[in-house]
Structure 1
Amino acid sequence: MQAAIPSFAKQGKICYSQSLFPYDHFQNVFNLQSAGVVMSKGKGKIMFAAGDMAVYPSHGVGRIENIKVQAIGGIDQSFYVLKILDNDMTIMIPTATSENVGLRPIISRNEVKKVVDILKDRDIKVSPQTWNRRYRDYMDKIKTGSVFEVAVVLRDLLLLKGDKDLSYGERKMMDTAKNLLVKEISLAKQTEEDKVEKQIDKFFE
Structure 2
Amino acid sequence: MFNIGDTIIYSAHGLCQIDGISEKTISGVTKTYYVLHPLNNEKLEISTPVDHQSISSLMDKAEAEEILNLFTQPGIEWIEKGNQRVQFYSQITKKGNRKEIAKIINTLLVKQHEFELNEKKFPQQDRKLLSSIQSILFAELALTLNTTSEKISEKVAQLLGINQEAIAVNG
Residue 169 of structure 1 pairs with residue 125 of structure 2: yes
State the match for 1:136 in structure 2. 87
- Residue 186 of structure 1: CA displacement? 1.0
Residue 55 of structure 1 pairs with residue 6 of structure 2: no
Greater C-alpha radius of gyration: 1
1:179 to 126, 130, 135: 135
Query: 1:120, 1:82 → 2: CA distance?
Result: 35
Instruction: Say if 1:186 and 1:193, in contact at 8 Å, map to a contact too.
Output: yes
State the match for 1:120 in structure 2. 72
Query: 2:45, 2:103 → 1: CA distance?
Result: 28
- Residue 85 of structure 1: CA displacement? 1.8
What does 1:23-102 correspond to in 2, within 5 Å? 47-88=1-42, 89-95=44-50, 97-98=51-52, 101-102=53-54
- Residue 132 of structure 1: CA displacement? 1.2
Q: Which shows bigger deviation, 157-166 or 185-194?
A: 157-166
Tell me the TM-score normalised to structure 2 length. 0.81
Q: 1:142 to 1:93 in 2, by over 3 A?
A: same
CA-based RMSD: 1.9
State the match for 1:26 in structure 2. none
Instruction: Say if 2:76 and 2:104, in contact at 8 Å, map to a contact too.
Output: no
Higher helix share: 2
Q: 1:87 to 1:131 in 2, by over 3 A?
A: farther
Instruction: Say if 1:56 and 1:145, in contact at 8 Å, map to a contact too.
Output: no
- Residue 108 of structure 1: CA displacement? 0.3
- Residue 175 of structure 1: CA displacement? 1.5
Gaps of 5+ in 2: 116-120, 163-171
Instruction: Say if 1:58 and 1:142, in contact at 8 Å, map to a contact too.
Output: no
Q: Which shows bigger deviation, 65-74 or 172-181?
A: 65-74
Gaps of 5+ in 1: 1-46
Query: 1:103, 1:128 → 2: CA distance?
Result: 29
User: Percent identity among equivalent residues?
Assistant: 23
- Residue 163 of structure 1: CA displacement? 3.0
Matched pairs, number: 155
